[in-house]
Amino acid sequence: MIEIRGITKRYGDKYAAKNVTFTVNAGEIMGFLGPNGAGKSTTMNILTGYLSATSGTARIDGIDILQDPIAAKAKIGFLPEQPPLYPDLTVKEYLNFVYDLKKCKLDRKKHLEEICRVVEISDVYNRVIRNLSKGYRQRVGIAQALVGNPPVLIFDEPTVGLDPKQIIDIRNLIKDLGKEHTVILSTHILPEVQAICDRIVVINKGEIVADEKTENIARAVEGKRRMTYNVCGPKDEVLKLIRSIPGVTYAEIIGNRELDSTAFLVESDDKIDIRKPLFFALADKRWPLIGMDVMGMDLEDVFLALVDQKNRKEEARKGGRKGEKK
Ligand code: ADP
Ligand code: MG
């Protein structure tokens, strides 16, 4: 349904998007995940024809956005990061304006009423947009995207700036819309894509680093335990000892702490609890362990885990090919 191939966007010598390639199948809810500045809005704006790419192609339902922008745009409902609302208009006036702009052919009254029912804004239909809460304004933005009944919906960071209740409501609404539409949801919030999406495409620094079913992303993130340990002892030797404990996959010194102790970041296989063997090994050396802390995974860690996984997969593939030649 959506096909992006080799999209590159350069600003001067800086790449906002670099050879971005992915497809979204009809009926799918795809999560486009990446930290701020990753290139999500750039990619969405190119896909929707708001921005031209330096190179690459974007097709919607087989239609190239550059070759036939009007036909391609008619297939897309887009909620940009900054929704294009007119604060002085009422919801009714605004949606009628969008209806005209899109040259919609559906029965005007019935169509707009139906949209308002779906996004639950019927009760503010005659209110001026300026006076609506942020949550309601975001709904009006979604209503605008639905005018003309496009099969593809693209939402760029739709929950930013909303309160927790509004966030849940908007997520549920997107999930519902996903039953009848092909959806791209762009966000920097990992739990958001995990809650809503079937598949996740991860972008970092303008490049796609993962394209996986949602459950596989969870697998890349899990399987690893991260802790910090504070130990009093000769730090290089302590580090060597930590690395020798079975189950430890990674260890580094992250700083000096109280009582002349050193802090170590340690990653280990989540099926092996390294705390007891590590404690006894340190006690044997009379290097006191004076603190330990669990470290959660944030988005940055997820990227590292994914990039790591990708590199390992590629190496395995290369290794396999070498093997075949023999
Ligand atoms: P995201 O939506 O993932 O936060 P963006 O697509 O907005 O990221 O931006 C990607 C990168 O491109 C950022 O580093 C941003 O600073 C840069 N960028 C975006 N628009 C412009 C522009 N008009 N001129 C120069 N750099 C830009
Ligand atoms: Mg953005």
Most confident of 144-153, 205-214, 269-278, 310-319: 144-153
Contact 219, 268 (CB under 8 A): no
Q: What is the pLDDT of residue 297?
A: 63
- Ligand 1: distance of its center to the CA of 162 in Å? 22
* Least distant ligand from the CA of 39: 1
Rounded to whole angstroms, how far apart are CA atoms 188 and 198? 16
Interval 74-85 mean pLDDT: 92
Interval 34-60 mean pLDDT: 92
* 188 CA closest ligand 1 atom index: 3
Q: Say if ligand 1 is within 6 A of residue 18 CB.
A: no
Contact 147, 115 (CB under 8 A): yes
Interval 277-289 mean pLDDT: 96
pTM listed for this prediction: 0.76
Q: What is the pLDDT of residue 299?
A: 64
Give the DSSP H/E element, type plus range, for residue 92: helix 91-101
- HSE-up (13 A, CA, CB side) for residue 139: 25
Give the DSSP H/E element, type plus range, for residue 77: strand 76-79
Closest C-alpha to 187, from 209, 156, 218: 156
Nearest CA to ligand 1 atom 17: 16
265-274 pLDDT, tens digit per residue, is 998 988 889 9
More confident site: 153 or 317: 153
Cβ atoms < 10 Å from Cβ of 57: 16
Q: What is the pLDDT of residue 167?
A: 92
- Ligand 1: distance of its center to the CA of 106 in Å? 37
DSSP 48: T
Give yes or no for residue 326 having a pLDDT over 70: no
pLDDT confidence tier of residue 323, bands split at 50, 70 and 90: very low
Q: What is the pLDDT of residue 298?
A: 64
Closest C-alpha to 102, from 153, 154, 149: 149
Q: Say if ligand 1 is within 6 A of residue 69 CB.
A: no
Task: Give residues with Cβ within 8 angstroms of 296, minimum separation 6.
Answer: 226
| The residue count for the chain | 326
Nearest CA to ligand 1 atom 7: 41
Q: What is the pLDDT of residue 195?
A: 87
Mutate to test the pocket of ligand 1, among 9, 32, 42, 79 (most ligand atoms within 8 A of CB): 42
Q: Say if ligand 1 is within 6 A of residue 12 CB.
A: no
Mutate to test the pocket of ligand 1, among 41, 44, 52, 187 (most ligand atoms within 8 A of CB): 41
Q: What is the pLDDT of residue 318?
A: 74
Contact 180, 172 (CB under 8 A): no
Closest C-alpha to 109, from 126, 96, 127: 96
Rounded to whole angstroms, how far apart are CA atoms 37 and 67? 29
* 12 CA closest ligand 1 atom index: 25
In angstroms, how far is CA 52 from the centroid of its own chain? 22
Q: What is the pLDDT of residue 324?
A: 47
Share of the chain above pLDDT 70, in %: 92
Strands 152-156 and 182-187: parallel
The pair of three-digit structure tokens given for residue 178, joined into one six-digit string: 């996903």
Rounded to whole angstroms, how far apart are CA atoms 100 and 72? 18
User: What 3-state DSSP class applies to 151?
Assistant: coil
| Segment among 14-23, 24-33, 244-253, 308-317 with least mean pLDDT | 308-317
Rounded to whole angstroms, how far apart are CA atoms 94 and 112? 11
Interval 163-175 mean pLDDT: 92
Supply the mean pLDDT for the chain. 90
Give yes or no for residue 84 having a pLDDT over 90: no
Strands 2-11 and 55-60: antiparallel
Label residue 206 exposed, middle or buried (CB < 10 Å: 0-12, 13-18, 19+).
buried
* Least distant ligand from the CA of 15: 1
Nearest CA to ligand 1 atom 21: 11
Contact 80, 156 (CB under 8 A): yes
pLDDT confidence tier of residue 150, bands split at 50, 70 and 90: very high
Give yes or no for residue 307 having a pLDDT over 90: no
pLDDT confidence tier of residue 130, bands split at 50, 70 and 90: very high
Give yes or no for residue 221 having a pLDDT over 80: no
Closest C-alpha to 173, from 211, 224, 165: 165
Nearest CA to ligand 1 atom 6: 39
pLDDT confidence tier of residue 90, bands split at 50, 70 and 90: very high
Q: Say if ligand 1 is within 6 A of residue 150 CB.
A: no
* Least distant ligand from the CA of 32: 1
Tracing tokens 């897309």 back to the chain, one arrives at 76
User: What 3-state DSSP class applies to 260?
Assistant: coil
Interval 40-59 mean pLDDT: 93
Give yes or no for residue 325 having a pLDDT over 60: no
Interval 82-111 mean pLDDT: 94
Interval 119-138 mean pLDDT: 94
Q: Say if ligand 1 is within 6 A of residue 34 CB.
A: yes
What are all long-range contacts of 95-103, with beta carbons under 8 Å and residues at least 24 apart?
A: 95/140, 95/143, 95/144, 95/147, 98/144, 98/147, 99/147, 99/148, 102/74, 102/147, 102/148
Give yes or no for residue 218 having a pLDDT over 70: no
